[in-house]
Structure 1
């Protein structure tokens, strides 16, 4: 099975968003996550326009849903895999393995073999022990060396757990050459939800220096630079438009050696705007002068990103008229930590009122649980289309 949640495809043209939401809730109940494939297309195309010449590999982790994969397959996207489950998902959807890379820096031997059996040939390493695992597969693989560039301004610093210090890159490249393992290029990920592109630029320039240094030492040529992800989206605060954010990145990429193959691993940027969460008020109570509204979705469900992803989502009631006062939105479980927002301005609501969370595509359903036996929100897919075949050049030396 490629998804543990039901997925219903809707082909309905509603005159307003509120009408669409009410109709879907009437049909499917709540809680609900509405996955809009048009938003996936818009985000993919916007980033493609902002990074011309960069091959976009969608990072499946934030929203591993078949409709997202199929939509991006239609767009000609490539894909970033990190686990056996993700390999299985794209394999079941018929994705050509030439359109994939496997980017988890730490893998079991069985993980390597599983990806190879599927047909994925490009992997990522960041240390000598991981490099050693590829000795038996040297004739079948090509590797990217992941570098670490710490980014304190990122929402989540992805260079803390993975990546090697650029200062030891030459030693790893030499070790790979000694063992007959082909390292094809360099990769990095400066962090998630970056406010500025400064660290991307620094990392790209450092990669350029390593490429030239490797050439000077007579090591095998490095022909790929993978700039990872981190491209920001609007939650409660506005971020730079993507074309503005990417302008310095484009300039830095232009400084790499001619012919360098450029790839990126966007996840959140593509996924986040694609889903809207809809939940219902199950009950209400006035506590210390404020209304508490208890929803049928919460921190252990679609709003799991409040904990795991440190994200405050744009949230409002579907009926937003009336005098507003400081209120609390709580989830349905018996756990006191299950509070979505503890100071949100809302009109007085009644049981059955609908609460809408926006920008809910990334790290929400993917990290939701069935804790306390409250079911996960059903995902309803709208604006879906039939998949088509695309021919994409694989990563080769």
Structure 2
């Protein structure tokens, strides 16, 4: 769908939203007048759509949203209403879901390395499923063996992923047998296995290989007379597109579904999607606060940057689609820089933009994952406020719900 006023390549690729006969441009203009820039628009309808798309692509898999990429109350409330479960990794995330009324039995705690107080905080809330990947971590649960159940995380290296999470966490297959054996000696319940093939995994065969190897370990554990493993957590990493190349998640998951069908019938499967659910759901809006000509290019200095909403450029290898709100006219080689006094605070170079005036708006797409979550207030530039759209289901004839995060 192309909306008048946006560069067609951006609108067509990322689906410029309309709400109650109001174009996205008009919505952005209205919000900019009301709240000022910079801000982020969080559309809960897109959160719902992404969750339902992945749920349809992985039937029978219980989806636990990983809070890490966007731990926002509106996201949690929206997904809870959709029936989602949640993947927690810190006491702060435990407190967030607890305060929003998430039932503890809809959560798991998946940080492989924990302090004793992290375990106690989660257990006090009622979250009882944890992840370990070594004997040292296993032995932390000796005092809690009557309360906690564990998943053993295996490592499957994936250097082609945006983030190879198995570099930092996970054990070998033999390590998994050793942990399960030691747990049986200590009277600690091992409920199953888990893995994470890495963020933005574009090759579904990475999941297939990991599932097949975990299947072998599950069967091997039973053959050794150890307690039967009944859960497999296939992690997250499901890809989204940051350019014109769309990802058909149903087709992507087809080989994963086939591999899961080979598991023992008694094994329940869960997953930990994060980026896939929220990346498309947030749009950034920043304004030009100044400009200068340097080496034949116009540098536009925005009121948001690398230390703010575009932090994912540093921390997440992000490449976000950005363009002027008003894109008509001839384009010129330009640079978009952030507001701080640090020279690395540059969002995009060699970008073709129309001639902009101070105060003009720049729009960034696919800004939901690892953006505001990793933003700072370096140089005392405040983080962009988040404006929530469509937080609650409502009659289509009514105006959208628009709320401001205070």
For the criterion TM > 0.5, the same-fold answer is yes
2:192 match: 185
Whether 1:255 and 2:266 are equivalent positions in the alignment is: no
- The aligned runs of 1:167-182 (5 Å cut-off) are 167-182=174-189
- In structure 2, the gaps of 5 or more residues are 1-18, 395-406
- Note the C-alpha offset of 1:234: 0.9
Whether 1:91 and 2:98 are equivalent positions in the alignment is: yes
Q: How many residues were matched structurally?
A: 377
1:343 match: 350
Deviations 1:215-249 (A, max 9, x none): 00000000000000010001025253101110110
CA distance in 2 between partners of 1:342 and 1:66 (Å): 34
- The aligned runs of 1:213-292 (5 Å cut-off) are 213-236=220-243, 238-292=245-299
Is the CA contact (8 Å cut-off) linking 1:195 and 1:239 kept in structure 2? no
- Note the C-alpha offset of 1:167: 2.5
CA distance in 1 between partners of 2:70 and 2:21 (Å): 25
Is the CA contact (8 Å cut-off) linking 2:134 and 2:175 kept in structure 1? no
Give 3-state SS (helix, strand or coil) of 1:345's partner. strand
CA distance in 2 between partners of 1:159 and 1:170 (Å): 18
- Note the C-alpha offset of 1:386: 6.7
Q: What RMSD in Å do the two structures reach over aligned CA positions?
A: 1.3
Larger mean Cα displacement after TM superposition, 55-64 or 194-203: 194-203
Whether 1:314 and 2:318 are equivalent positions in the alignment is: no
Alignment partner of 1:295 out of 299, 302, 318: 302
Is the CA contact (8 Å cut-off) linking 1:79 and 1:99 kept in structure 2? yes
CA distance in 2 between partners of 1:96 and 1:339 (Å): 42
Deviations 1:49-71 (A, max 9, x none): 00000000000000000000000
1:66 match: 73
Whether 1:364 and 2:371 are equivalent positions in the alignment is: yes
- The aligned runs of 1:50-129 (5 Å cut-off) are 50-129=57-136
- Note the C-alpha offset of 1:283: 0.7
CA distance in 1 between partners of 2:249 and 2:160 (Å): 17
CA distance in 1 between partners of 2:179 and 2:348 (Å): 47
Give 3-state SS (helix, strand or coil) of 1:189's partner. coil
2:384 match: 377
Give 3-state SS (helix, strand or coil) of 2:81's partner. helix
Is the CA contact (8 Å cut-off) linking 1:194 and 1:231 kept in structure 2? yes
- Note the C-alpha offset of 1:325: 1.8
Give 3-state SS (helix, strand or coil) of 1:159's partner. helix
CA distance in 2 between partners of 1:386 and 1:359 (Å): 23
2:214 match: 207
Give 3-state SS (helix, strand or coil) of 2:339's partner. coil
CA distance in 2 between partners of 1:16 and 1:201 (Å): 42
Whether 1:24 and 2:31 are equivalent positions in the alignment is: yes
2:339 match: 332
